[in-house]
A and B are shown apart, each in its own frame.
Chain A
């Protein structure tokens, strides 16, 4: 149980385009989903927390207009990187929590490369 999927697993795009990443909880209802970013050999960095049906809460320094998060249902959250630039190239990982609220289950991640 507690399976989280992400799509796509890898994406390459041109600078200036937008990229949407989907995160789905497959076998449980995720009341809260989290979006992280991780640069090579660095720690996980929490970008934002989203609750179903409400606006996401962004961490300090994360631009909410650049990283659009939608959590429209209890099983789906999306992260859209708008007007992507090469410095946005990173490993984006979502996680979801459900029943006991605090345990987070991670998706497999999306590797974004902006050319």
Chain B
């Protein structure tokens, strides 16, 4: 049974700071990882996917993957109040069913 672990938070950072969200996963052979953002009462939206070790940057977001440590993180630079949401980490299932295994999410609050 695949597991994805996230600190539920809440994680509170001041506006303009770097928010660091962390995630660990259980399946050593997993190849694909995703970060989704979910605002209260809304559905998740994809922020980034990452497949290779190292960093992947997209605007203010950087995803980091370390397969040896089974660890994936999301950094949000210059955090804004509009970034306040729950961030979901997901691990790709591979195989033929393409299911994702989601963590329970980390609630981020950015204080003005």
Contacts and interface: CB of A to CB of B under 8 A. Distances in A.
Given A43-B104, A43-B105, 18 more contacts: A32-B97, A32-B98, A34-B99, A49-B98, A91-B43, A93-B43, A93-B44, A102-B32, A102-B100, A104-B34, A104-B46, A104-B90, A104-B100, A106-B36, A107-B43, A108-B43, A109-B42, A109-B43
A57 B93 CA distance: 15
Interface residues of A, number: 20
B42 A108 contact: yes
Nearest to A97: B98
The winner among B45, B90, B99, B104 for most chain A CB atoms within 10 A is: B99
Interface string B85-99: 000101011100111
The 10 closest A-B pairs by CB, nearest first: A109-B43, A102-B92, A106-B43, A43-B104, A93-B43, A101-B98, A106-B44, A102-B32, A102-B98, A32-B98
Contacts of B93: 102
Contact of B97 (A43, A57, A108, A109): A57
B25 interface: no
A43 B102 contact: yes
Nearest to B97: A49
Contacts, number: 46
Interface string B2-28: 000000000000000000000000000
Contacts of A104: 34, 46, 90, 98, 100
A46 interface: yes
Interface in A12-63: 32, 34, 43-44, 46, 49, 57
A103 B49 contact: yes
A106 B100 contact: no
Nearest to A92: B43
Nearest to A102: B92
A101 B45 CA distance: 17
Contacts of A109: 42-43
Given A106-B45, A109-B42, A46 B99 contact: yes
A9 to B, nearest CB: 10
Contacts of A2: 46
